[in-house]
């Protein structure tokens, strides 16, 4: 009997740490006994690298480029903790249609009933930063992921991207698509950063699932081609990811997001910019006094 499959999509601005966070969530879930698949929905095809010692795997579209028909199992590779790793892949930068590539890869796995056959508990789609066209919205359509989480730091550009994503989800949620599970607040080390992201979360009525501090442990693990869970299982950072994974595994109720409109977002960021300038001035003041 097939288990109840949970499908989750993780979005966020490029370079914000989506793949790192996603791979650590997958690793922590696998450690906790779940059967996990991580699906990299990015033409760069590097979402799952740290689950496999930094090794690249051929993507679904690499295989499709060779032959008209692909057996989905030829594109599934087992990584750390038995996690099934799949990369959608895509065309070379600047050519073809990456969005169509994502659609094709997702369809291929669905058609061949891979999730059912492999008895997977949780599928996590790691989707590239900007939802530039219809193809990159496929993971949040009806019948695919039910919950979307967004990875964001306290940087304004990351928050803009998150807000944009909320608008996308709002649109899809009207037509039966995925709902918003919450924000994974990444690289949050100072009180100030936390205040910014908290304020954005409050304004948009969005829960923060977990605060993840920036940590050298993560960088070191990445450089060795591993997740933090694998490379530094006893570190405090690994526990942060475990907690995050647990919350995601238990997460049941997502909701329609309430994004800020462009005017509200501008005013909101201007106010925080003023705070920031004032804080920096005070800091400079203090430094002069010390000198």
Partner 1 sequence: MAILALKSRPTEITPDADKSGPIELVRYVCAIGAMQSAAAIPRVVPITHCGPGCADKQYMNLAFYNGFQGSGYGGGPVVPSTNASQREVIFGGADRLRELIDSSQTVLDADLFVVLTGCIPDLVGDDVGSVVRDFQKKGVPIVYAETGGFRGNNFTGHEAVTQAIIEQYLGPWDGVREQGLVNLWSLLPYQNTFWRGDLEEIKRLLESIGLKVNVLFGPDSAGLGEWRSIPRAQFNLVLSPWLGLSTAKLLEARYDQPYLHIPVLPIGARQSGEFLRKVAEFAGLAAGPVEQVIAREETRYYNYIDGFTDFYSEYWWGLPARFAVIGDSAYNLALTKFLVTQLGLIPAKQIVTEDPPVEHREAIREQFRAIDHDVSVEIEFAEDSYLIHDAIRKADFGHKPPIIFGTTWERDLVKEMKGSLIEVGFPASYEVVLSRSYVGYRGALSLLERIYSTVVSHSA
| The CA-based dihedral angle spanning residues 85, 126, 244, 204, taken in that order and rounded to the nearest 10 degrees | -170
Enzyme catalytic residues: 13, 18, 44, 130
DSSP secondary structure string for all residues of 62-109: HHHHH-S---GGGG-EE-GGG-EEEE---SPTTSS-HHHHHHHHHHHH
As a whole number of angstroms, the distance between CA 43 and CA 127 comes to 10
Site residues for partner 1, window 50-69 (CB under 8 A)? Answer: 52-53, 55, 57-58, 63, 66-69
- Shortest Å, Cβ 107 to partner 1: 9
Cβ closest to partner 1, residue 6 vs residue 52: 52
Q: What share of the chain is helix, strand, coil (3-state, %, to 5)?
A: 50, 15, 35
In the numeric block, the tokens 């990456």 are attached to 98
State the DSSP H helix or E strand holding residue 116, giving kind and residue range, or none if neither.
helix 114-117
- Shortest Å, Cβ 73 to partner 1: 4
Site residues for partner 1, window 146-175 (CB under 8 A)? Answer: 172, 175
With CB under 8 A as the contact rule, the residue among 10, 60, 109, 137 that binds partner 1 is: 137
CB atoms within 10 A of CB 288: 8
Site string for partner 1, 90-129 (x = CB under 8 A): -------x-xx--x--------------------------
- Shortest Å, Cβ 162 to partner 1: 22
Site residues for partner 1, window 164-223 (CB under 8 A)? Answer: 172, 175-177
Q: Which residues of the shown chain bind partner 1 in the complex (CB under 8 A)?
A: 52-53, 55, 57-58, 63, 66-69, 71, 73-79, 84, 97, 99-100, 103, 133-135, 137-138, 141-143, 172, 175-177
């Amino acid at each position: 009997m097939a288990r109840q499959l949970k499908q989750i999509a993780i979005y966020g601005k490029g370079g914000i740490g989506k793949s790192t966070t996603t791979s650590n969530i997958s690793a922590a879930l696998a450690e906790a006994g779940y059967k996990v698949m991580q699906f990299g929905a990015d033409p760069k095809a590097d979402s799952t690298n740290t689950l496999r010692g930094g090794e690249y795997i051929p993507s679904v579209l690499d295989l499709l480029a060779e032959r008209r028909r692909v057996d989905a199992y030829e594109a599934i590779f087992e990584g750390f903790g038995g996690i099934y790793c799949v990369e959608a892949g895509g065309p070379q930068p600047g050519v073809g249609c990456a969005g169509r590539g994502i659609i094709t890869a997702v369809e291929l796995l669905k058609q061949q009933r891979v999730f059912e056959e492999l008895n997977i508990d949780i599928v996590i789609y790691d989707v590239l930063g900007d939802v530039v066209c219809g193809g990159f919205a496929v993971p949040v359509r009806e019948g695919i992921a039910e919950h979307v989480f967004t990875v964001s730091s306290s940087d304004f550009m990351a928050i803009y991207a998150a807000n944009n994503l909320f608008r996308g989800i709002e649109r899809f949620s009207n037509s039966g698509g995925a709902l918003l599970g919450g924000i994974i607040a990444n690289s949050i080390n100072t009180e100030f950063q936390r205040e910014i992201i908290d304020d954005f979360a409050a304004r948009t009525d969005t829960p923060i699932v977990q605060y993840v501090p920036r940590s050298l442990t993560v960088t070191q693990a990445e450089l060795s081609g591993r997740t933090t869970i694998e490379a530094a299982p006893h570190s405090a950072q690994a526990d942060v990811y475990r907690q995050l994974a647990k919350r995601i595994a238990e997460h049941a109720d997502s909701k329609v997001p309430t994004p800020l409109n462009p005017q509200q977002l501008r005013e909101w960021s201007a106010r925080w910019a003023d705070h920031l300038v004032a804080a920096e001035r005070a800091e400079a003041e203090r430094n002069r006094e010390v000198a």
